[in-house]
């Protein structure tokens, strides 16, 4: 069992090995340009101050909403323009979800990391199409998927001609309407040499618990993310919002923007301690 994976290049820095975690963060869905601008500006300043590699994330279409009436986002074309704006203004890599193969081509000149949603983590054509662009591909591990089965994701990306792969842990289904984060999954996936990201937002969800929307327990995010860092992850994923209760998506699990720096400061100390003293090559 491997605690640490081989380090590799990542947007001019190194990830893996004993390098500190990177952060994927932004508002869940693209509500408006002003929100994206504010969140990216504040998050980049925080990450620059703490020395964290920062990737901006927001979705142009939340195609897997619980209700057909829920806000999904501005759509692909407007979403691409917003990502271009953020990328050019702040000089940061950008990540967004894709749901269909036809979305890859229009986004490949803008997007630095294509994200495959958890419900689509077995969709071979979608994963392969994203990998063929030569961009990084982040696949959310399905709530139904065993950690060892993520090796098939790695193989699909490699056989599509790329070594730029990562898998995000976002909890496993535990009965109906509940998710549980199993820390054992991180070293299990590291065994296959896969860079692992921990999703602090969606691991706190309670699917269907709020009727026609997904509920969640935001108060447990700090506990779970500290647990993930304690077993050695390459990256963290955290959706943030200035006023989570008013967010148009994932209002119960987005983390308050004002509390991010304090939590990240704690996590960096823990990450440094764990990777220096307790994990093995």
- Looking at residue 64, its pLDDT comes to 79
- Looking at residue 82, its pLDDT comes to 98
- Mean pLDDT (the chain, rounded): 95
210 pLDDT exceeds 60?
no
Q: What is the pTM of this model?
A: 0.96
Q: Where does the pLDDT of residue 1 fall: very low under 50, low under 70, confident under 90, or very high at 90 and above? A: very low
136 pLDDT exceeds 50?
yes
**Tens digits of residue pLDDT in 77-116:** 999 999 999 999 999 999 999 999 999 999 999 999 999 9
Q: Where does the pLDDT of residue 2 fall: very low under 50, low under 70, confident under 90, or very high at 90 and above? A: low
281 pLDDT exceeds 80?
no
> Looking at residues 149-157, what average pLDDT do you find?
98
> Looking at residues 190-197, what average pLDDT do you find?
97
Give percent of the chain above pLDDT 70: 96
Higher pLDDT, 178 or 212: 178
Give percent of the chain above pLDDT 90: 90
63 pLDDT exceeds 90?
no
Find, among 222, 226, 158, 154, the residue nearest to 190 by Cα: 154
In the chain, what are the domain boundaries?
A: 8-278
Q: Where does the pLDDT of residue 280 fall: very low under 50, low under 70, confident under 90, or very high at 90 and above? A: confident
- Looking at residue 209, its pLDDT comes to 53
Assigned superfamily of 8-278: Aldolase class I (3.20.20.70)
- Looking at residue 7, its pLDDT comes to 95
- Looking at residue 213, its pLDDT comes to 60
Q: Where does the pLDDT of residue 241 fall: very low under 50, low under 70, confident under 90, or very high at 90 and above? A: very high
């Amino acid at each position: 069992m491997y605690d640490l994976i081989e380090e590799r290049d990542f947007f001019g820095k190194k990830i893996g090995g004993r390098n500190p975690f990177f952060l994927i963060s932004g508002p869940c869905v693209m509500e408006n340009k002003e929100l994206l601008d504010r969140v990216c500006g504040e998050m980049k300043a925080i990450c620059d101050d703490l020395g964290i590699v920062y990737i901006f994330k927001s979705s142009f279409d939340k195609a897997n909403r619980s209700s057909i009436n829920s806000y999904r986002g501005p759509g692909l074309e407007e979403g691409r323009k917003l990502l271009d704006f953020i990328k050019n203004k702040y000089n940061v890599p950008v990540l967004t979800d894709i749901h269909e193969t036809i979305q890859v081509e229009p986004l490949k000149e803008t997007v630095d990391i294509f994200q495959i949603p958890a419900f689509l983590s077995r969709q071979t054509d979608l994963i392969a199409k994203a990998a063929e662009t030569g961009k990084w591909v982040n696949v959310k591990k399905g709530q139904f998927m065993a950690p060892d089965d993520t090796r098939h994701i790695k193989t699909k990306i490699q056989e599509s001609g790329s070594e730029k792969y990562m898998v995000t842990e976002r909890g496993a289904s535990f009965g109906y309407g509940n998710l549980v984060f199993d820390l054992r999954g991180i070293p299990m996936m590291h065994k296959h040499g896969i860079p692992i990201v921990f999703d602090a937002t969606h691991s706190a969800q309670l699917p269907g618990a709020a009727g026609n929307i997904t509920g969640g327990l935001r108060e447990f995010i700090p506990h779970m993310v500290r647990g993930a860092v304690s077993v050695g992850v390459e990256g963290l994923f955290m959706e943030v919002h200035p006023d989570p209760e008013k967010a148009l998506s994932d209002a119960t699990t987005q983390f308050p923007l004002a509390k991010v720096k304090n939590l990240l400061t704690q996590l960096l100390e823990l990450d440094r301690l764990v990777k220096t003293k307790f994990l093995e090559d």
